[in-house]
């Protein structure tokens, strides 16, 4: 295994295939020294900080993230809906009248049936064991009438907020209409907390108190807590395809991690930066110099990176391609790397064995194809065992990281699986999340 004095940290970037071809960016990229990372999130009130009297009989607007994947009208992964249930159950139990709002997909010109929250309301009804009425809109007199007619413990779901372009523009007139039927606001949608939209930030100007739900509070506790106060040794596992999209967070977190594991398509940009042949593997040529600068800067900081020592290569990007395992410095022309080899996984296990905090983003290979799944599932097993056997804090972020962890059957052994993509990234970069900043301080 190649050990290089360096460091990279990243969480929760949504990535497609770890090795999917990308369009190279134009121009020369530079890597500048970071300013000191000194972002500390102000403590925010959550629903648990409110008294029973502040909740009983109140009409509560809850911003959830039920932006689930659909096959037609069938939900293919209900994780986000399930994650919203504890907050809703708590509010119901306190006698609140709960109205859920969310977006789904990216409607272009007003309402589109394929983006209706109907399937989400049905699934939430099943999970709660009671009817969740779907409003025909998210604003207007009919919504107000439905909310006014509801009883304590009832749950309503408003129709897709992004059926209105004013939602993403945070247009004041729309914000006021959205907030009008309600007494208070709960934000439980970490995945959209980095957006200053009407339903995430705007409504706080009209609804008080405005507090976090359980899911949002948990995300902040784990993500911000790990970065600010994570127990050492701390490690980051970085997979996926693009170096280009990870420079800012790398810059911000360079001093935070003791150990780094790099996998996925981005490996080959780093290998090329070392002068190695990578065959037809995915490489961002415009970022080879950036990779060199990263390695040098991290070397100067006395950090350690682990790159794969062996690679599963294929003669084609296909499930039935011919494959072989070669050393990472011996990739032949005409072949591409699509996964870590077995030696790499064994070395990762030893490398991470003493870590107390581990953040993972991105798979090690094209785990969607059976021939290239072992590297990803191997490192998922390593993290799950670290938590189960050693009590380490393990945080999984990024769409593919979450999908792989769920598919492996080890999701229950992790400390935390993040629901956020861009929000996680921006939090780790030290940016203010508008949807969090707008909530009441403790």
Annotated catalytic sites, by residue?
Answer: 80, 242, 399, 422
Q: Hey, how many other C-beta atoms are within 10 angstroms of the C-beta on 236?
A: 28
Token code pair at residue 100: 């859920």
Contact 230, 393 (CB under 8 A): yes
Beta bridge partners of 344: none
In 2-73, beta strands by DSSP E: 2-4, 59-63, 70-71
Token code pair at residue 132: 């969740």
How many whole angstroms separate alpha carbon 89 and alpha carbon 69? 23
Residues sharing a CB contact under 8 Å with residue 210, sequence separation 6 or more, in sequence order: 184, 185, 186, 187, 203, 204, 438, 439, 440
* 276, 279, 283, 288 alpha-carbon torsion, rounded to 10°: 20
Q: How many CA atoms lie within 13 A of 16 on its CB side?
A: 5
Contact 237, 263 (CB under 8 A): yes
How many whole angstroms separate alpha carbon 186 and alpha carbon 38? 28
Q: Residue 249 phi/psi, 5° resolution?
A: -70, -35
Rounded to the nearest 10 degrees, the angle between the axes of helix 342-352 and helix 374-390 is 20
331 dihedral zone (left: phi>0; alpha: psi -120 to 50; beta): beta
């Amino acid at each position: 295994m190649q050990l290089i004095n360096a460091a990279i940290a990243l969480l929760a970037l949504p990535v497609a295939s770890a090795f999917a071809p990308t369009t190279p960016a134009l121009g020369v990229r530079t890597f500048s020294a970071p300013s000191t990372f000194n972002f500390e999130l102000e403590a925010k009130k959550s629903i648990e900080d409110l008294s029973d009297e502040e909740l009983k009989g109140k009409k509560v607007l809850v911003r959830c993230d039920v932006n689930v994947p659909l096959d037609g009208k069938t939900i293919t992964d209900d994780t986000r809906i399930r994650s919203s249930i504890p907050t809703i159950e708590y509010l119901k139990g306190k006698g609140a009248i709960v109205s859920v709002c969310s977006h789904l997909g990216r409607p272009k010109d007003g309402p589109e049936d394929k983006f209706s929250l109907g399937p989400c309301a049905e699934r939430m009804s099943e999970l709660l064991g009671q009817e969740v009425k779907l409003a025909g809109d998210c604003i207007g007199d009919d919504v107000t009438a439905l909310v006014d007619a509801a009883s304590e413990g009832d749950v309503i779901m408003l129709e897709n907020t992004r059926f209105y372009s004013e939602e993403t523009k945070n247009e004041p007139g729309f914000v006021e209409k959205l907030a009008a039927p309600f007494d208070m606001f709960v934000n439980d949608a970490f995945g959209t907390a980095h957006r200053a939209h009407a339903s995430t930030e705007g409504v706080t100007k009209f609804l008080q108190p405005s507090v976090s739900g359980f899911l949002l509070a948990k995300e902040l506790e784990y993500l911000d807590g790990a970065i600010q106060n994570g127990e050492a040794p701390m490690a980051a596992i970085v997979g996926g395809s693009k170096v280009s999209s990870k420079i800012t967070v790398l810059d911000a977190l360079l001093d935070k991690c003791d150990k780094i594991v790099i996998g996925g398509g981005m490996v080959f940009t780093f290998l090329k930066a070392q002068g190695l042949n990578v065959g037809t593997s995915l490489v961002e040529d415009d970022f080879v110099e950036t990779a060199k600068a990263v390695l040098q800067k991290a070397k100067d900081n006395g950090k350690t990176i682990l790159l794969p020592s062996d690679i599963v290569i294929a003669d084609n990007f296909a499930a039935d391609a011919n494959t072989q395992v070669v050393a990472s410095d011996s990739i032949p022309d005409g072949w591409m790397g699509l996964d870590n080899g077995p030696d790499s996984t064994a070395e990762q296990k030893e490398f991470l064995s003493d870590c107390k905090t581990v953040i993972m983003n991105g798979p090690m290979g094209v785990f969607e194809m059976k021939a290239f799944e072992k590297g990803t599932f191997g490192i998922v097993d390593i993290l799950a065992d670290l938590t189960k056997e050693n009590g380490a804090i393990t945080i999984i972020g990024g769409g593919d990281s979450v999908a792989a962890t769920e598919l492996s059957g080890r999701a229950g052994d992790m400390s935390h699986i993040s629901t956020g993509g861009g929000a996680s990234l921006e939090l780790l970069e030290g940016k203010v999340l508008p949807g969090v900043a707008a909530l009441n301080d403790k």
